[in-house]
Amino acid sequence: MAVPGWLSPGVRLAAIARSARLSGSAATRQAPGAEPVGQAALYVHWPYCQKRCSYCNFNKYIPQGLDEASMRSCLTQEAQTLIRLSQVQRISSVFFGGGTPSLASPLTIAAVLETVSRCAHLAADAEITLEANPTSAGASQLAAFRALGINRLSIGIQSLDDAELGLLGRNHMAAEALGTLEEAKKLFSGRTSIDLIFGLPGQSVASWTRRLEELIQLCDDHVSLYQLTLERGTSLFKQVQQGFLPMPEQEVVAEMYEAAREMLRAADFRQYEVSNFARNGALSAHNLSYWQGSQYIGIGPGAHGRFVPRGSGDSLREARIQTLEPDSWMKEVLNFGHGTRKRTALSQLEVLEEVLVLGLRTDVGITHQGAQVLLERFGCAGLSATDPPHTAPAVLGGQSSPRDLNPDSSSKQEATACSRSPEWTGALSGHLKILHPI
């Protein structure tokens, strides 16, 4: 299963399993995988931060003599190359993530948006998100970002406790976070999101819920809650390994999560994904498009993408990763027009697996209607999602059980075989009955 790690920061399987119980609530969104092929979401990675947080292993660098004009020109060049390669006519949403994209100059953000609008249709009301760190440097430009077209802001508040912020190695204090939130709510009313982390060393259920209660009084209409993941290679990981910091027990962390869900529900938030809560319909269109299995293009160092490179005559969706290190990435963009380091053609079965796993993260889950669309889209029209598993001889090199149906190979020939295989459909049917037992 090749779902990128960044899709689930801090969320463990236990939490996913818990949230699967949500499956089956009001199905108002588009069926998974039903996105028109002529459109994609666009992710733009800004790889720089002012300081390394103690827990973070995302692709980020502390800049030394950053040449922002070159970075800008490479981002626009890569956006142009990959949008053309995908042949999409419409970009449905744009997300500037990082790293700390609020440290980029408004000129850079504007240049990327201008290029996107030149290469494809970007609707005036398309969701365009920027992640901001609540430092004075990050917050000072918010009005400028709003003016150039950013219409959703995601603020990395993480905690309202200064001691916890110190432990996390953040370079902001709780007061700055609250100041940035106030400012953001004026500029991005109804479209300001906050990120919080729970399950920190030394944190108790009581200290977590007290701070969360405070934030629920002050926040806007979107909250993301991430359980801390101890990532190898981070300084927090080392401190915990060496016994200097005690991690809370898993049961305590589970209690934190359940308590937070309850509090947010009481404040009219809908939990629409394992880690995400929205009220007044403020669901993130961009992040939803990941969970719905839509195409997305990733530009910038280390960005991930999932799209069909129709411009080169291909018809299979590819998982793409851009070169991680910014200077190497820039050289590649200058030489080739893009810095794609890894391309993996995905078989239809692999795409379907991703769609199923990601769909399970949402409250809508995998519905019968969505399953039908999937079956039709992946070449199995006419077979019902509730058909019993077939037992005919396997086509996939002797594999016969659902668990085995995960071919590493992604050759086009095999993908075609997969899509028509009765075993494949049977495996899917079996899964669907488990996932959505209405």
Tell me which residues touch ligand SF4 (CB under 6 A): 49, 52-53, 56, 58, 60, 98-100, 133, 156
Smallest separation (angstroms) from ligand SAM to the CB of 54: 9
Written as one string, the DSSP assignment of 112-168 is HHHHHHHHSB--TT-EEEEEE-SSHHHHTTHHHHHHTT--EEEEEEE-S-HHHHHHT
Choose between 15 and 53: whose C-beta lies nearer to ligand SF4. Answer: 53
**Phi–psi pair at 338, nearest 5 degrees:** -155, 160
Shortest reach from residue 50's CB to ligand SF4, in Å: 7
Q: Where in 98-137 is the site for ligand SAM (CB under 6 A)?
A: 98, 100, 129, 131, 133
- In whole angstroms, how close is the CB of 62 to ligand SF4 at the nearest point? 9
Task: Determine the distance from the C-alpha atom of residue 78 to the mean position of all C-alpha atoms in its chain, rounded to a whole number.
Answer: 20
If one asks whether residue 9 binds ligand SAM (CB under 6 A), the answer comes out as yes
Nearest to ligand SF4 of 106, 138 (CB atom):
138
Which range touches ligand SAM (CB under 6 A), out of 105-113, 298-306, 334-342, 419-427?
298-306
Question: For the CA atoms of 259, 261, 267, 271, what is the dihedral angle to 10 degrees?
Answer: 180
Residues 212-241 contacting ligand SAM, CB under 6 A: 224, 226, 228-229, 231
Kind plus residue range of the DSSP H or E element containing 85? helix 68-86
Over its C-alpha atoms, the chain yields an Rg (Å, rounded) of 22
| Contact flag: residue 197 with ligand SAM (CB under 6 A) | yes
Interface with ligand SAM, residue 292, by CB under 6 A: no
Q: Is 68 in the site for ligand SAM (CB under 6 A)?
A: no
- H-run or E-run covering 192: strand 192-198
For residue 279, the one-letter residue type is R
- Closest distance of CB 270 from ligand SAM, Å: 14
Among 23, 31, 33, 55, binds ligand SAM (CB under 6 A): 55
Task: Give the shortest CB-228-to-ligand SAM separation in angstroms.
Answer: 5
Tokens for 188, please give them: 């991005």
* Contacting residues for 297 by C-beta, under 8 A, at least 6 apart: 40, 41, 42, 43, 79, 82, 83, 86, 88, 91, 305, 307
Contact between 6 and 321 (Cβ < 8 Å): no
Residue 139: closest CA among 175, 93, 190: 175
The correct pick among 20, 22, 31, 56 for binding ligand SAM (CB under 6 A) is 56
Which of 8, 429 has the CB closer to ligand SAM?
A: 8
Q: Does 400 bind ligand SAM (CB under 6 A)?
A: no
Please report, as a single letter, which amino acid is at residue 266.
A
Residue 86 in contact with ligand SAM, rule: CB under 6 A? no
Non-local CB neighbours of 104 within 8 Å, separated by 6+ positions:
46, 48, 68, 96
Residue 284 found at the interface with ligand SAM (CB under 6 A): yes
193 sits near ligand SAM (criterion: CB under 6 A): yes
Strand partners, 48: 61
| Shortest distance, position 172 Cβ to ligand SF4, whole Å | 9
Q: From the CB of 250, what's the least distance to ligand SAM, in Å?
A: 15
- 143-162 residues in contact with ligand SAM (CB under 6 A) are 154, 156, 158
CB nearer to ligand SF4: pick between 7 and 259: 7
- CB 49 to ligand SF4: min, Å: 3
CB of 417 to ligand SAM, least distance (A): 30
Name residue 191's amino acid.
R
CA–CA separation, 311 vs 296, rounded Å?
15
Residue 77 lies near ligand SAM (rule: CB under 6 A): no
Q: Report the C-alpha gap between 209 and 198 in whole angstroms.
A: 10
* Coil, helix or strand at residue 2: coil
- Token output for 245: 């910091």
Q: Which is nearer to ligand SF4, 100 or 115 (CB)?
A: 100
Which residue ranges make up the site for ligand SAM (CB under 6 A)? 6, 9-10, 43, 45, 55-56, 58, 97-98, 100, 129, 131, 133, 154, 156, 158, 193, 195, 197, 224, 226, 228-229, 231, 284, 287, 296, 298, 303-304
